[in-house]
Chains A and B, each alone.
Chain A
Amino acid sequence: MADAENIRRRIEVRLGQGEFLAGMLHVAARGSAQAQENYIDRLCSIAAAVRTILEANGLIGHIPYRPGAYWQELKGSSVAFLDGGVANIDLPSAAPIGIRVGSYIVRPGEADPETREQFNIELALVDDLYSNEGFLYDDDFADVAKLRDAARIVSETSAAWHLANRADAPDHILLHGPLINPVSPYGLDDFPGYELDACRSFLGDLSWNGGTEDRQFVGLYLEVLKRLKASGRSVVGVVERSIGKDPVVTRYLLHQLLDQSAVRKSDATEIIANLALYGLNDASLFDVVLQEGEYVGPVSVMRQGPENKWPDRWKAWIRDYPHALTTYLKPSELSAPFRVEAFDDIRDHRRALELILHTSRLLPSYGFPVGLDIVDKFAKVPEWMSRGVRGQHQVVLLQKALASGDPRALTFAKRVLATKGRDWFFRPSA
């Protein structure tokens, strides 16, 4: 009963903050009259049901917040936080890419500031995606945003691998974002592969000689992930905001319970149907189900989506992708839960969650690991740098147009670069 009251209270607080509005509209558009009328009650029932089932089956864990003792226990360990920053460059005629992955490695309890904290740029990548002499991709591609995304994903994972591969590798590595990303969107037919040198750089292996497919994003990313997993280090990805509609983790938990015959199929189906009806995803559901310091599962989730949506060419590769041991952790009553992903074989999952909880509680309102906030600020490409890169590309573009001798190319370049109609570029020629 106490759980149900707490759930209702949490729902009402979130309603007051504007949450569940999308769900309410969703119900208003599609739901029955009864569903619309008793929205809060229904929400409470769903959440209470989920909590009852999970709790009964030991799928809700609790990490106590004990800062005084915990930080003393962590003395002597080292923790690395990783994040990537992407330059904000948008030009109509070029596709510059600027990525850097920063790390913040800290040794709690260490008195000497030099050895206590290290900030590094683990990887810095600047290239022109349209250029034939580019370092990164061996060809161009229409969807530049996908090229950048793919490059960012493999860069961040590569940086984690480099750290994990060091002799003095940190005891914990936390990535900002998912540990394992869906790869199907980047398995398109004409998606360019990476240059050999770029691959070797990502893998940290100058002797690597992978073939064409190995150098494609799907292949290369898999190789980096495998190496990272094989390192045996404690590596987790922490996802700040889960925006997907599909309650993936809830489904997986229910499937697991079905396999154990711990729940009826009809009950599991009804829960999933209600989640869909009320527009609840994992984050919003667990926000009201979980109490402070609680986490669900964890459960092993295959992150690549339904197999029928995989590109045929890459099905075998994608099947090889590791699963992510996934949970949602709610650090405090005030903050929403976030997703934490680890490899299936992580040695001490609970210890990792304890670290994440305690670092999140250092931001009591925001409720997210503070080390990731620090490295996010460190790695972020500042606007002045983006402007600089943008400016450089404009100069290169104009120089190339002038060198071509083609008046049409020059006119085009002028139009692209001019910001106003009346500009010295457009002075009438004789």
Chain B
Amino acid sequence: MPDWAKIGTVVGSASTGSYTFILKSMQAKLGDIVATRVEVPTASDTTRHVATVWGRVISIDRFNPFFPAEAAQELADQSIDLIDTVLSGSRDHLEAQVLILGTTFDADGQAELSPLTYPVKPSAAVLYPDADAVRQLLTGERTADKEKERKNPKLRIGSLIGRADVPVSLSAKQVVSRHLAILAMTGGGKTVAARRIIRELIELKYPLVIFDPHGDYLGLFEKRGLFTGSDIKIMYPVIRVWETNIGIISDLIGKMGRSLTDPQQQFFNFLINAVDVADGEHATTFIQRLMDFADNIASKKRNKDHLADELAEVRGPTINAVKRSLSFVLENLQQMERNNKRLRDQPRFKAYTFHEMPDPTDAPEEIVQPGQVSIFYLAGYDHLNQSAIVSIVLEALFGHRLTLSDRIPPFQAVVEEAHNFIPSRREGIDETPSLPTIRKVITEGRKFGTGLVLISQRPSRLDETTLAQCNSFLVLRIVNPNDKRFVRSVMENLSEADANILQTFGPGQGIVSGQAVRFPLLVRVDFDHELVSDAIGDEDFIAEAARWKPDTKRQSATAAVQKITPRPKAGTSPKPSPPSATTTGKRSRRIRPEGF
């Protein structure tokens, strides 16, 4: 039996799920893995085995029975230090609660964890295992075995909180097949955690597709030199139309446009059905063709040319209304494309290379291949369009996996700001295009090698059904009570004690649980400093405002125009016009200048 330090003694009632022990001062912390030993009966009547019972410290209460509260009040009122008086401050009682994780039987030489079937003994010693023992416990492997590691690769995310010598890793197989959710409030360290996992997957050359609404992962391209043998590609979206996605497109157009009356909707539906889709054409081109077709019909109506029967009742204003709606959608789409381009053209991206998004239906292998990370930069697009893009891409890529066409290998999709792509019904957002797509992937992806990493800072806004399909969770700091409640409802093995510490985590600290680990663990995520982009950082708006200068061309133009008709300076009111020359009191007739 290894000689581990004794740190306390079991007291009170113990069950097969938990126990309490009196902790020696400064010998353990919250989240530590501790052990105790107990004799347990076995199947045989006569034999007993000594089991090592592993547990995690989930709470520590500290009190000093010799320090009365009213003394504390007097110390505060009189500004006296305790050590200057006769008061006692040394007799802290520390009572720690332990959640039992399972047992191992040393005699078997196994690292398999079994449930505890016999309670821990009050008065038993509680021990602090060494780092090696804890590592073995977390990995389930007695010795480092390269062959085993190759067959069962791990994604290192960090170390146990308070024990930097004990690494914490996730099972790569579980993450890529059974999905992972990373949840934390803003500043909790989600992006750092996601980058850590992405980095580990890149090391494995596992194909990654990242949907990046704000550009949080563009820095991976800047630091691509760290990933030898891997290719980091940034893609800007282009919405294309195919026969297979015409439904998404028509929905998108319908949602982006103005609301249509029934006759208008009917005419719109006619247009969608009547205009042939040129597979792969840009949506803007397709919309323009819809408008041209509508123009054609309007012209025929005016000229009273022959029209299809279903158009007999369509009136001119109806056609115009639909055209205006389509024009509105077209302008918006073009504006978003310009926004995205403007963002890409910023000076900080001058060293970056952006690729037009390949057609996921026709050329999926340009998006997904071993050693490649494809980052979809969605900035500049509104939520609806971002959702449509994600839906179109994922639908197509998963479609290839679903048909077992082997056109693309298995891959992992990372969805940032997931609450925008799989919103809860409570959000009152109409059917979001990406919601049914992601639902389908998360339900069936396991069988077809399509995994998801969902990242969100507002868990309570996520679709509960979808989130519950994630088999592993990394939950960092969460303070909002709704979010905490929601997380508890979807994470089956999040105890009340663990839920209570969610708000106390510092940046990068969290709890990982689910099938990717043997049991829930408190973890400190490693921060990959070298992955932090030099070009992209938190904007300094104060400095930017100080630097800002008005556009001199615009200013000089305004100055020139002002000379034509002097305008009152700011802060003064215009002089009242002199009274009219007539004495009748009637208003004089204003002479409108020509041309207006």
Contact = CB atoms under 8 A, between A and B. Distances in A.
Indicate, yes or no, whether A interacts with B: yes
Of the candidates A67, A72, A109, A119, the one having the most CB atoms from chain B within 10 angstroms of its own CB is A67
B83 A68 contact: no
B68 A371 contact: no
B73 interface: yes
B47 interface: no
Contact of B86 (A72, A113, A359, A365): A359
A127 interface: no
Contacts of B66: 374, 377-378
Nearest to B72: A362
A370 B68 contact: yes
Interface in A362-385: 362-366, 370-371, 373-374, 377-378
B305 interface: no
Interface stretch (B87-95, B395-403, B583-591): B87-95
B68 A363 contact: yes
A2 interface: no
Nearest to A66: B78
A363 B70 contact: yes
B81 to A, nearest CB: 8
Nearest to A75: B84
Contacts of A75: 84
Interface in B68-124: 68, 70-71, 73-75, 78-80, 83-91
B76 to A, nearest CB: 11
B85 A377 contact: no
B80 A67 contact: yes
A67 B90 CA distance: 22
A110 interface: yes
A359 B71 CA distance: 10
Of the candidates A81, A108, A358, A362, the one having the most CB atoms from chain B within 10 angstroms of its own CB is A362
B65 interface: yes
Interface in A68-85: 68, 71-72, 74-75, 79, 81
A116 B83 contact: yes
Contacts of B88: 104, 106, 117, 374
A68 B86 contact: no
Of the candidates B80, B84, B88, the one having the most CB atoms from chain A within 10 angstroms of its own CB is B88
A74 to B, nearest CB: 8
Contacts of A113: 89-90
A111 interface: yes
Interface in B37-87: 65-66, 68, 70-71, 73-75, 78-80, 83-87
B84 A363 contact: no
Contacts of A79: 86
Contacts of B75: 362
Given A68-B80, A363-B68, A363-B71, A371 B90 contact: no
Given A68-B79, A362-B85, A116 B70 contact: no
Contacts, number: 66
A111 B83 CA distance: 7
A162 interface: no
B90 A109 contact: no
Contact of B90 (A72, A116, A365, A366): A116
In this complex, the interface size class of chain B, counting residues with CB under 8 Å from chain A, is 20 to 34
Contacts of A363: 68, 70-71, 74
A79 B88 CA distance: 12
A72 B85 CA distance: 9
A152 interface: no
A119 B86 CA distance: 13
Interface string A95-121: 000000000101011110100110100
B90 A370 contact: no
A323 interface: no
Contacts of A72: 84
B84 A109 contact: yes
A183 to B, nearest CB: 31
Contact of B80 (A71, A104, A110, A377): A71
Nearest to B67: A374
Interface string A322-364: 0000000000000000000000000000000000001101111
Contacts of A371: 86
B86 A106 contact: yes
A111 B89 CA distance: 11
A79 B85 CA distance: 10
Nearest to B64: A374
Nearest to B80: A67
Contacts of A111: 83
Contacts of B70: 363-366
A144 to B, nearest CB: 31
A358 B75 CA distance: 12
Contacts of A81: 86
A362 B71 contact: yes
Given A67-B80, A362-B71, A364-B70, A370 B86 contact: yes
B74 A108 contact: no
Nearest to B25: A113
Interface string B110-143: 0000000000000000000000000000000000
Nearest to A67: B78
Contacts of A377: 65-66
Contact of B83 (A110, A359, A370): A110
Contacts of A358: 85
Contacts of A362: 71, 74-75, 85-87
A361 B84 contact: no
A266 B83 CA distance: 53
Contacts of A67: 74, 78, 80
A365 B70 CA distance: 7
B125 to A, nearest CB: 19
Interface in B384-400: none
Contacts of B84: 71-72, 74-75, 108-109
A244 to B, nearest CB: 28
Contact of B85 (A71, A364, A373): A71
Nearest to B65: A377
Contacts of B90: 113, 116-117
A359 B97 CA distance: 36
B344 to A, nearest CB: 62
A195 B68 CA distance: 41
A81 B78 CA distance: 23
A398 to B, nearest CB: 25
B122 to A, nearest CB: 12
Given A72-B84, A363-B71, 12 more contacts: A68-B78, A68-B79, A71-B84, A71-B85, A108-B84, A110-B83, A116-B90, A117-B90, A362-B87, A363-B74, A366-B68, A370-B68
26 contacts: A67-B78, A67-B80, A68-B79, A71-B80, A71-B84, A71-B85, A79-B86, A81-B86, A108-B84, A108-B85, A109-B83, A110-B83, A111-B83, A113-B90, A116-B83, A116-B90, A117-B88, A117-B91, A358-B85, A361-B74, A362-B74, A363-B68, A363-B71, A364-B73, A370-B68, A374-B66
